[in-house]
Structure 1
């Protein structure tokens, strides 16, 4: 008997079960394993021994807890559990009909599923009927208590398994029947005293079968015959062995029957004569050739007749008792002996009436001729022949398996035929039905698996009608879809005219077979449409001359409403059997499930598109991964952009990132992996991610698991955003407050430390810039006693010496000791014990715990050591005050940018310094460096400003009086010289040039003084209430002559209303002179200059517009800067006119600006506040 291990193997694969839309790959493979076991030919006992392991495999397919197989008992009243598997199976030993689902399924004959609560626990199960020879004989049930929901797909697979299992049981029964027939044949052979039969392979002559008469005829036990491959050959007389080998090889190679006479040796050593017939046995392709031998003893010949006469009564008794037809004919084909079974087959004649007659007297001539030809072949070849003979018995066609052998006399001559006929009609019919069911189930299985692929519904409909046509040989097939108006649309079909598929079917639906099928919801079978009374026959069926028909409903599981009708039609009268109706129903169920799947996929696709639309509009990256495979399911465009992918390029799942400390992220550390494996919800985890272009960005990532209805993690959603900009913006703040943040986390007094830093900042920057030393004194006072017991701040002078700026001690009694230590041992920075170390490294000296040995090491002499011990220093920090930039080297010492250092010490029983204290002190020193640098910069700036002002004052004072004398003398000479020619005219001309040069120098000196005043913010104006109109008129009149001489027109447009304002007449005149002078200078002839005066709300606005070349756009922002001149200008001016003009306007509380386009002239505007009217 075959063992479960041999068939199933040792691979205990665990199936992932069936999901909502079909079995997973593991489930499909397990299903194929089960079907292959069911298809293996084996007996009933062998199949039942494998049943427990088979049910275990079925349980794995559905990921269920239990599977039960029930068979009807002999009384037909109860279902007996043939085999069970899984938890709770011991409670289902025997179930009476009417109990639970398997009984309901057995009674209705169709698969059913229930998903509900049983007692205190959820219990979902389904069952399918089991049929053998198309008869209900049991049920198979699958159960779950873990919330599993069974749907149409699972029912289809379960029904497939039930049908295949029924075929396996049916095949096993047939296998047992065949064994019984063979056993009966062997029993019959055993009744023939002088004949024994054997079978062996042609190569080795190893016996696979030998009848028991061999033991009686030759005296050797059957075990002896089988123990050695040469035993049969050794029994042949050596004189005949070569002839036997030749006949054996000829039969094996040519597959032609061979006959010879030879002598065989008995156990007593006697030689007995036998006539031996050799023939080949039909075997599977590729299998070794099998030889069958029939040995008939012919020694002596008289014994045969004697034995025949003695056993005549025994043969008659035997023939009358068997259920098969047995007969003996003579050489002419006339019956010599027959039993009642054969008489009944040949028309009910009595046995004695048959004797002396042939088959031509009872059967049609064609049938009798075929039977006679087989008998002649037997007598000619002297070998047995098997034939299948078809005979009509009682009006029914029956099939018989006839075995005919030669009947020999005492001389070995063939005197007749011995025959045995077994009725195999039922077996043949059942084999046909079984093959048809196997074909149908194979088609259903293939179609079911095909429906689980991505094939569209239209293509699936076409494949369905094609399978129905090829399997059931139908003439017309239709798939009708029910429309909202209750009409029917022919979606697919076979046998219809061109153009009819895709159109409406004529007739009223409620009166048609399709309408009746939809209303009844049960399969409708019509044997003869001409006699049908339940509904009307619609015109299309009449047009196609349909005689027989069957139809089933195609359901729409998503809405519990019918989708339509699947129909199969035949033009000839045909009685559709249960298998054909079940096959049509199975195809319908698969289509129903596929429609459900299509509806679900369409809905899922709609939801997916809506989700994708939402995701594409989200400003953050979103990725969804399948669990547990990690396969990418969904991503939006922002996800790819954030990770540096190009448009349309998937972001993938092989991300690379680093922790804040630089460690790379391991796979199990990623938030999505933790969510997928541990179900963890991760929020706002910042990761330094390496993008596709190898750039690095900081993303803030959150991940959460998505669970299915059973609580299992089905997917993981990841949401992330690029926060690199935020990080960069806060990096400077983090740098400034990093030590404070670290201190707050590690020390409970974090608030006090922050407060101390704020106080340090206030102490340093709350004091005016010019008081640099006082800032450092304030710093020392702030640090004692908050951070130290003793604080000393030393500044490095340019000469290389140290200057103690601040010295504080919490104990006034020890303040003197500290001063003595500073004055004696801290003056020369380059010779001290600490100075060179800080100068060379630029790093702080940190000694959290100072021992006496440390004091001895740093002391310079015994007095130094005494002072250190007296101060009782046990923890020390010396923090350099460093400026930014590179250091310099002076006097052979690398300064490293050190401006000085802060010495902090704790004495007595105070706490030791920690790294957090060092960070805090370093921050204080950094602030001190900023304060010291700002003081030094302020002082240097003040010195430079002071030097410049002194220079301007000296120049203006020393040059103004001589210039005044030159101007007065020149003007006097011009007045005294009369107009003349010759030498006097030359003198007059040179004097005039001297006066003009002095005037320009005087103007330049005044501009320099105005520049210094404007930069110092001390531009002096003498304000008085004046009418701006008059001042403007005077300024325009003074320069109008110069403009006309150059060929320019000066136009003055003023509002006649009085414009009173607080003005300095001379400064406004200077302002107008600068602006009008520029306009005259840069406007080519012929040109126009327009001066406008307007009142605007609370201001007076004056504009000077020219028609000159304009000002380049790049120069506009710099026009009012000091010393600025337009690059293309050929003027040799100082570049101070507009800067001074701006100072004059701002001194009056107004503002000035310019509007210009290159090539379109320029407009200078300034506004001044007007005086409020008196109430």
Structure 2
């Protein structure tokens, strides 16, 4: 160890100095090591935090339900998540380092400019909606909501772009579907309003197919209805089809067409591609027009009792996937059409019922008018005016009896045209040449000419004047009807329509036939009534002669017989008186018959004379018994007569009432066998007095009972047979008094005859 000399000291100093330097260095090293150790810990902490942040970012990218991405300043993908990669239809690896145009060339042009703008300082985030197709969903339009925002690298200061992408296709499609549905519903509602205002079904059909093609954007639309044989469907309305097919083209039912298959399903049928369709055969109507896709549905009409009306369908040339919403819209349009069909059918039914009601009311009125007179000329005139009031502008009535055409009556609705009708009425027609009623006369059948041409009018004219009259009348439609009654042709009825906007149809012909039938019966009745009136007049003249010219000789016979009886001797008196009585009896019976004939004529003419006074019913009963009591005794019959106590008088002709009661009592005596009984009674019934005569004779059958009051009718031949006028005269007398007469009878149990006569008015007032 160096301690004493200078060199040693210096060495020691050097050594000490070196020790001090080493210590310093060591301290510094230790200090540096300690510092670096602290720095490493911080770096590790920072690194750990950074790794944690990256992990969070990775998790965010991995788990985010939206697309996330980052582009550098060259618009290359630097980072993205699986969602964004899926949107683009490529794996993540095919994105990194590639530009937008390389990955999504069909979308890049829409967003490149915007993204470059975001690379400039001061740019702010932008939001954009994008639409387009992607490789992941070719053929389907996708929609995205994209947020772009600038990103600056804190180290390199380079700018990039962050991207957040959300697929809003479902929302967009839902909104578009709602918008489409609202638009379709608006179209359906508008169609419904127009359908209610439409005058006919064809207008509704044409509107429906036009609405379908316009709303769905299709090339074709068709409305098919069943043909009469129900084996085919006829194209009633359409859009897009070749000219001339609407109204004529048809398709088969069943699996021979899309329409037929739709009828089998009774639900909407969607066809994606007709070329590959296996459910049914493609009809030529579709294939010849190049149809590929389509949708069809059934048109239901409840009024058809379960039978569909037809089919509504629409088609496209290009392939198209029709949606259930499209089918629902088509069905809604079909429902509007079906409702219109139902409405029209119900309106037609109601109109038919109203028309039938009007026709029945008209025919009832016509019957009343025609029945209001039995005058032949008046009946024809009323008939003609009925026709022009309800059925025609001009009515021409041809009537013939023995001659081919005996009478012509023409009437026009317009008074200004009356002169034409009169000229036509006064024209003499040749039965061998055509005229308005010629066809009816030849065929004896109704004739309907809905559209009357100028040639047809000319064919019915007999000469230039006749043709001129017909041209001035200017008929556009015509009906001709036979006037037939009880198998006999009376004539013909011709009805002319002169209004350009109206034509006769089957319903008009049926109404005219009903009227013609009623009119023919009325005309025939008037004709027969005229004959009857002339016969009655002739009969009355004969009766007047008979009553006057026969009564005088009968009176002379009676007087001569009486004088003869006074001049005979006593020896021959009894024998002569017997002969005289027989002569006088015959004369009286002849007088009685003559009086009966006169009474019948007076009753039928409504001229039966009555001398009315207050008559006591009990007195009438007593007089009748006194008058015929002897005859009843001779026939060994018991007669009982009674009257109600306090019975009031009637207002009538005493002799005529006695004639009625005596006739009934005489018949009872005549038809009651010996040992029988006859009862006669009068009693009050309300404001009438009821007389009745009952016997115990053989009675009458219902057939006989129905005819006993007919003139000249007798129930059975008897030895005391009369002319069959008594009950008919009795009926006339009772009805002339305002009463009623009837009979009741049962075979084997006798008969009861009743008749009533009103109580005298003064007595009615006293009773009240």
TM-score range, shorter chain: 0.3 to 0.5
Q: Which structure has the higher relative contact order (CA within 8 Å, separation 6+)?
A: 2
Structure (1/2) with the larger strand percentage: 1
Structure (1/2) with the larger helix percentage: 2
Q: TM-score, normalised by structure 2?
A: 0.47
